[in-house]
Amino acid sequence: MKSYRKELWFETKARRVYINITPQVEECLRESGISEGLVLCNAMHITASVFINDDESGLHADFERWLEKLAPEKPHSQYAHNGFEDNGDAHLKRQIMGREVVVAVTDGKLDFGPWEQIFYGEFDGGRKKRVLVKIIGE
């Protein structure tokens, strides 16, 4: 069995943003030389997510509105977590949007359903953060 590991780095200016990282994950898969197996892709930070959904700007605006209803950023004082930090909302948003995705690898390609794409969801940007890509198979 082959094994491959890579960290993808992100530093967004905006506090919240969604980035389609499918091309980077496909590049990792090419580098790995693995044609049958599994890709695990996870945020390495507890205020960011990796998730699969449609690359459609209206949907991303809907995510933003929905998450702001569930866990509004402000006022910062509404969260017990805040005080030293101001990212209580970002921890909650990450919890809803998830930590990781697993994608099957078949014939050297990500074996997606229709419209599936992999996204990095940043909820507390402005600093360097990582996504782990781990691929196993043969």
Among 11, 36, 85, 138, binds Zn ion (CB under 5 A): 85
Contact between 94 and Zn ion by CB under 5 A: the answer reads no
Number of residues that bind Zn ion (CB under 5 A): 2
CB nearer to Zn ion: give 42 or 87: 87
Residue 124 beta carbon to Zn ion: minimum distance, rounded to whole angstroms: 7
Is residue 86 within 8 A of residue 76, CB to CB? The reply is yes
Neighbours of 102 (CB within 10 A): 11
Pairing of strands 100-106, 17-20: unpaired
Per-residue DSSP letter, 103: E
Contact between 22 and Zn ion by CB under 5 A: the answer reads no
Q: Which residues make up the interface to Zn ion (CB under 5 A)?
A: 85, 87
